[in-house]
Structure 1
Amino acid sequence: MTEPLAAAPPPPVPDEILAYYARGQEDARLRTGAGRLEFWRTQDVLRRLLPPAPARVLDVGGGSGVHAAWLAEDGYRVELLDPVPLHVAQAAELPGVTARHGDARSLPAADGSADAVLLLGPLYHLTERADRVAALAEAARVVRPGGLVVAATINRWAGLHDLLNQGRYFTPGTAARVHSTLGDGRTRPSGPDALFTTAYFHRPDEVTAEFAEAGLVPGGQYGVEGAAWLMGDVVEWLDDPARRAVALDAVRRTESEPSLLGVSGHLLTAATAPSRP
């Protein structure tokens, strides 16, 4: 296996994105309240897609290690890369997880060195298509031929649905910002009431096109939360183990229905790396 050729480093991650995640709130978001739906559904889909342990998994942009932790517990050999120093420090404390600084657009890994590559966050914050394709091409490079690449994206309509659900869509000025994102996919946070940082929200068909442009062979797409995240009782369902099982099963039954992919807040897209000459 060969290390990647030296190349110009990618542009730095924008300061506002680093500052947003340096607040340290992402770890708790997926462990409490309605965020558990995203966590459990992502776990459910990945456990069905990943090769058997002890495969080597590269968790690119893996944050504090929320998913790396259970992957290591399942017996996978996990290396996490993230551009946020706080995340790297948090993930480095996890048993069985190797964590270091890294950028999805220029991975410090050898060709074909991973059995699976996960990008469960980097594509959110690469607002230029060329950068997103570069990140996917890097995943294609470092995964073995026939290996799995799975990326998470935020759906184009997630902000509109979420703000309607919260009642904040009716706040003066909010609807205009949402409409701007619906037009070009870009979020432009402004002011102290901003819910998120600089990001790009995909249409489902855009994701498969970007995968293909990066040299990957697109496979399935999986709506993570389905329509359940927009229902007022979702936290109560998740608190009750019996109801939670029923709700998760219901979402799984609709996860790949093309007409419903955009209803989810998040989408997982899977692909394989082609054989190399």
Structure 2
Amino acid sequence: MRYYTDVFVEADRLSRAPHGRLEALRTRDLLAQLLPPAPAMVLDVGGGPGAYAGWLADAGYQVHLVDLVPAHAAAARHVHPAVTVAVGDARRLPLAGRCADATLLLGPLYHLTERADRVAALGEALRVTRPGGVVVTATISRHAPLMDLIRQGRVDDRTRPALLATYGSGVNDPVSGFTTAYFHRPAELVDEFRAAGLPGPELYGVEGPLWPLLPLAGGAETDGRLFAEVLRCAALVERDPEVLGASAHLLAAARVPRG
């Protein structure tokens, strides 16, 4: 709450730099593959100011967004009037069971450092999703912080011990510049889905292994040939288990069992 209220501006994160634009394009491409057709009901848990909720509503989906941060919920309500919005916790959703055809958790899992809380959030996603529907989550890869800080030139004697500890435990030290968080290995995602009562999910690498090559900043004019090749590479190897962990983000999707 403190990070998103006082420290970091989330509203334009997916548009202000090449890496964010890569994440957004790839996530939208994957959601287009995984979601049922519009006008299905999509629940966007932890949807922030509504970057994906607004896009889905424009595509004809019914969308309900739930976010823990009141300022995010207010922004989503203001910018995306077609989206219904509520403030709530992913572990205790203020919703009836089986109310959605698809449930997205594109932020909550990496903000929950305890496995029991992550499993609880996945259990809630299972509860509110209709049989035959899909649960889709996004997590940050265990390898991403080390790769990202090295490319920024921010690894030194002060930050290195914390980064190595994060790599071992998965729990982020805010000395990295990011808030307290949890970074997943692919196998952990499978285990947590199953612990919540969901089938083992299909896993996708979002940005692919070449995302560190993109510049740290720049407008859309920087998205030239290199950006296009990084994007093509990400799509080519998105299901390759040997390079999944090299993506900055992992997407996981599982169908809710019928019966």
TM-score computed with the length of structure 2 as normaliser: 0.93
TM-fit CA distance, 1:74: 0.5
Tell me the CA shift for residue 218 of structure 1. 2.6
2:118 alignment partner in structure 1:
132
Identity among equivalent positions (%) equals: 53
Give deviations 1:186-245, integer Å, cap 9, x for gaps: 01224xxx4111101111110011001111113321111112211045867963666344
Residue of structure 2 in register with 1:114 after alignment: 100
Distance 1:236 1:126 in 2: 31
Counterpart-to-counterpart distance in 1, 2:24 and 2:200: 23
Contact 1:79 1:97 in 2 (8 A): yes
Which amino acid is the alignment partner of residue 211 of structure 2? Answer: W
| 1:90 and 2:81 matched | no
- 2:53 aligns with one of 68, 71, 74: 68
Distance 1:253 1:176 in 2: 35
| CA–CA distance in structure 2, aligned partners of residues 195 and 237 of structure 1 | 22
What amino acid is aligned across from residue 86 of structure 1 in structure 2?
A
- Name the amino acid aligned to 1:95: P
Write the letter of the residue equivalent to 1:248: L
CA contact (8 A) 1:72 1:95 kept: no
1:230 corresponds in structure 2 to: 212
Aligned partners of 2:131 and 2:257 also within 8 Å: yes
Partner residue, 1:141 = 127
Alignment match, 2:12: 28
Hey, what's the Cα distance between the residues in 2 that align with 1:256 and 1:95? 35
How far off its partner does 1:249 sit?
2.2
Q: Does 1:213 align with 2:202?
A: no
**Length, aligned pairs only:** 255
Q: Say whether the 8 Å CA contact 1:37–1:238 is kept in structure 2.
A: no
**Amino acid paired to 1:275:** R
| Runs of 5+ unmatched residues, structure 1 | 1-17
Change (3 A) 1:240 1:165: closer
Which secondary structure state, in structure 1, belongs to the residue aligned with residue 84 of structure 2?
A: strand
Q: Which whole-Å CA distance do the structure 1 matches of 2:216 and 2:36 have between them?
A: 31
Deviation of 1:132 (Å): 0.4
Shift of 1:172: 2.1
Contact 1:218–1:272 at 8 Å: present in 2 too?
Answer: no
| CA distance in structure 2 between the aligned counterparts of 1:228 and 1:70, rounded to whole angstroms | 26
CA distance in 2, matches of 1:133, 1:230: 30
> What are the ranges of 5 or more consecutive residues in structure 2 without an aligned counterpart?
none
Cα RMSD, aligned residues only: 1.8
Whether the 8 Å contact between 2:210 and 2:230 is mirrored in structure 1 is yes
Find the aligned partners of 2:219 and 2:70 in 1 and give their Cα distance: 35
SS for the counterpart of 1:35 is: helix
Cα shift at 1:109: 1.3
Partner in structure 1 of residue 182 of structure 2: 200
What TM-score, normalized to structure 1? 0.87
